[in-house]
Amino acid sequence: MNDKTLKSQELFENMPVWTAVFSMAVPSCITILVMFFYNMADMFFIGQLGEMAQVAAVSVVSPVFSLAAAAATMLGIGGCSVIAKAAGAGKIEDARTYGSLCFYTAAAFGVICTIVMLIASKSVLGLLGANAEIFVYAKDYMQILALGAPMMLLSTTLGALLRADGAIKEGLIGNMTGTILNIILDPIFILVLGWGVKGAAAATLLGNAVSTIYYVIHVREKGQILSLKPSYAIRKPKSLLHIIAVGMPNGISSILSGFAATFSNNLLVLYGTNAVAAMAAAGKATMIISMIQMGICMGVQPMLAYNYGARNISRLKEILKALSLLTVVIGLAAAAGCIFARDTLIGMFLKDAAAVQMGKQLVVYLVLASPIIGFYYLGTNFLQAAGNAVTATIVSLLRQGVLLIPFLFLMNHLMGFLGIALAHTLADGIATIVAVLAMYIQYKILKINRPERQEKHYEKNPDTEKVRMIR
């Protein structure tokens, strides 16, 4: 335990900033990209069928599972944080309680999702904007995925919890194993066997199941501070509220993303099935930009938190500068790549010429905020690192709800279906400005309230300060 802490301290405090940023950001980005390709595989292979209704069905159903993913995100991110904090304080029993609570809560919520989606599929799909052409495919897709909901929640939750146990490699292995299996099974089930959306759902179900089984076996055999014993969960069930509170900003973002997609689809369906499919394809093609930037900022968040807590302002400033430059460069390069390669990107998912043309137009509008969206993720992660989860949650609400939903209706009225894409860009831009301002204020508060005596002590006697921090 102490050796790991010391290594972490070396990484957070002494390692060259760019080296430290890359060593933390790369594993995080890999994990997120693996999840992205996992989700993209269904859309890609269904697109090869050339049936726009089936492509649209995947898009229509996705908000339901965005809500389930939000629950898993709250449990995974919140659980990882409180488990690591408890372990660092030597409260191993509490850490095991948190891990067990997350596991059984994810399983229970997964079962509830299964029951609700199987019983109320018709009503749910109606709310999601499925027209008569899309409904049959969407129902098939959702019902099979519903059977695998417990595995999906467990896979996402356990994958995040493993980081608190120091099992970063194992988390990557689990994600990659599930993804590779999904990618292998998708063409077999969808194209060879001719199952269409049913095959896509079955491949996803099996991929999640394999990942979950791998994680469970690892925790049972090699877990150090994680435990799946139900006796731990029963000890302090009220601790679940604390876990959810810590993970709330991330969960809110996922939940609102699902609602926003539902509103968007309800507007797009007015322009026909091709419009729904085109937005789904354009969204998938451009989503990778935000996911990379999000992965960078989430991965480096522990280093931000460490240096914020240590009041090491010079180090914190270096990290923020490095992250700002990195996200802007990636955003510019990726946006340019998406625009110039939009024919190829959209063609990966769509075969209908009219739908392809619509998708190519949507891509241009969706990437306009890409160069700056990294500042949004940097701002929210900095606020969480500073312990200001309330402001981070408000900024998330602003981007995906308060701004986006009104913009969707307004821009649709003014510009038609292209306005729906521009609404996302406008919401991203304004939310980014707010996030940067909130981060700047939080940074200034740190400088104003910095205890001078503590920093002087740190400079004169770093070894003593290190021991104090470790404890």
For the chain, the first-to-last Cα distance in angstroms comes to 11
426-471 tens-digit pLDDT: 999 999 999 999 999 988 888 777 654 344 333 333 443 333 333 3
Among candidate residues 186, 216, 251, the one where a domain is terminated:
251
- At 209-230, the pLDDT tens digits run 999 999 999 988 887 778 888 8
Least confident of 137-141, 219-223, 252-256, 348-352: 252-256
Which pLDDT score, from 0 to 100, does residue 211 have? 92
Residue ranges in 367-416 assigned as alpha helix (H): 370-385, 389-397, 404-415
If you average pLDDT over residues 51-74, what whole number do you get?
79
Same domain flag for 72 and 190: yes
* Same structural domain, 199 and 298: no
Classify burial at 89, counting beta carbons within 10 Å of its beta carbon; exposed 0-12, middle 13-18, buried 19 or more. exposed
| pLDDT confidence of residue 115 | 92
The pLDDT value given to residue 150:
93
> Tokens at residue 134, please?
């899309």
Q: Please check whether residue 257 lies inside any domain of the structure.
A: no
The 10 Å CB-count burial string (b at 16+, else e) for 58-79 is bbbbbbbbbbbbbbbbbbbbbb
* Residues near 37 by beta carbon (within 8 Å), at least 6 away in sequence: 179, 183
pTM score, two decimals? 0.69
CB within 8 Å of 388: residues ≥ 6 apart: 438, 442
How do residues 242-291 score in pLDDT, each as one tens digit? 788 777 777 777 677 767 777 787 888 888 888 888 888 888 778 778 88
Q: DSSP class of residue 10? A: I
Claim to verify: residue 343 and residue 449 sit in the same structural domain? yes
Residue 466, SS3 per DSSP:
helix
| Nearest CA among 359, 277, 360, 278 for reference residue 55 | 277
Does a structural domain hold residue 30?
Answer: no
Give the structural domain span for 77. 49-251
pLDDT of residue 465: 38
Q: Say how many domains are in the chain.
A: 2
**Res 112: pLDDT:** 92
Whether 218 and 117 map to the same domain: the answer is yes
Q: Is residue 395 part of a domain?
A: yes
Same domain, 189 and 117: yes
Q: What is the pLDDT of residue 308?
A: 72
306, burial (CB in 10 Å: exposed 0-12, middle 13-18, buried 19+): buried
Q: Does residue 399 sit in the same domain as residue 315?
A: yes
Mean pLDDT of the chain: 80
